Amino acid sequence: MKLTDNFGRLIKDLRLSVTPRCNLRCLYCHPLDWETTEPPGTVTVEDVRHFLKAGSMLGLEAVRFTGGEPLVRKELPQMIEAARDTEGIRDIAITTNALLFRRRAKELVAAGLQRVNISLDSATPEVFKAMTRGGDVGKVLDAIELSFELKLEPVKLNAVMIRGMNEGEVVPLAKLSLDRPLHVRFLEYMHLDNSNPEEYQRRFIAGAETKAKLEREFGPLEKVDSDPSAPARVYKIKGSVGTIGFINPVTEAFCSKCSRLRLTSDKAMRPCLLTDLEMDIAWAFEAQNPVEAITDAILLATDRKPAFGNTLPTLRERVMIGIGG
């Protein structure tokens, strides 16, 4: 079965937030006044099993576990096992800040983890610490090496570009792709933190500006064929082993090719990251036949998926950490 929405988009990817908690306070994701306690009603392993079974029956084939920070959730291996054991799920990944990766990696791989997306906004310790409000970049760099050792490939690195913080890191980060099969992706800063609109506009860096900076350093980037439903526009530096990606949801919205649905950690379906539209489906997990009820909820969320998201600075009902990456 293939699941399509009202605009003909094939829906095949799930983003599943397993916790609102995080061990960092990245300035573009985590407002300082946001509480990160695990509330009652957070998804359980059994909830994940039911949700993935319902999704797979509808043709959804990829799941990425997110947070908050998914590695702070002790039951994450059991959730990954549930994905591994679900017929039809072929791609199992996590998005992580990787601070706890060395401690948890082997149990995650044993459970069925296939690949990782690692947040790395800077490889310079001082810049990284400032952007994450206290993070240790050494642990992230170690996690990248461990990912290769454990064959969790492709290894993707995500850098959110913010003026006044890490625009000087563009070239050093891109150089990581020269000799290693790393996929370094530069992301436009989305207004999902309820920051002051004027401050947001001042800090915003368009993907085209980042690309131009790289081409001044390395010459024209070479286009690389990639999945058209994926958000990144993929290039490579001539002669490099890895790739460079640009994820530009603000200046080059990719809504027309979006293949994703999101489940928040408190069991709300979000058919679009950049709207406040969401559906509380906690009732479905408590139904007598939860798989059937969740199937209906996924169909309804797909039917409500809008044509476009709102990329303008907007006061959001939820900020990024509460939605899930």
Percent of the chain with pLDDT strictly greater than 70: 97
> Which token pair is 149?
């050792």
Three-state DSSP at 320 gives helix
| pLDDT, tens digit (0-9, with 9 covering 90-100), for 33-57 | 445 566 778 999 999 999 999 999 9
The region, left, alpha or beta by phi > 0 then psi within -120 to 50, assigned to residue 243 is: beta
Query: For residues 208 and 222, what is the distance between their CA atoms, to the nearest angstrom?
Result: 15
Decide: 92 and 113 in contact? Cβ < 8 Å: yes
DSSP-assigned letter for residue 256: G
The mean per-residue pLDDT over the stretch 221-229 comes to 92
Q: What is the pLDDT of residue 37?
A: 60
Question: Please, what is the average pLDDT of the chain?
Answer: 94
Given pLDDT bands bounded at 50, 70 and 90, which one contains residue 31?
low
Given pLDDT bands bounded at 50, 70 and 90, which one contains residue 26?
confident
Q: For 3-323, give the CATH class.
A: alpha beta
Given pLDDT bands bounded at 50, 70 and 90, which one contains residue 179?
very high
Three-state DSSP at 180 gives coil
Q: What is the pLDDT of residue 41?
A: 86
Q: What is the pLDDT of residue 27?
A: 79
Residue that wins the pLDDT comparison between 109 and 318: 109
Please report, for residues 73, 75, 151, the alpha-carbon distance to residue 104 in angstroms, rounded to integers and kept in the order given.
11, 11, 15
pLDDT at 203 over 80: yes
Q: Considering the entire predicted model, what is its pTM?
A: 0.95
Q: What is the pLDDT of residue 254?
A: 92
pLDDT at 32 over 70: no
The mean per-residue pLDDT over the stretch 220-249 comes to 95
- Nearest in space to 260 (alpha carbons), one of 280, 285, 233, 230: 230
pLDDT at 1 over 90: no
Q: What is the pLDDT of residue 28?
A: 81
Q: What is the pLDDT of residue 206?
A: 98
The domain spans of the chain are 3-323
Q: What is the pLDDT of residue 317?
A: 81
Q: What is the pLDDT of residue 125?
A: 97
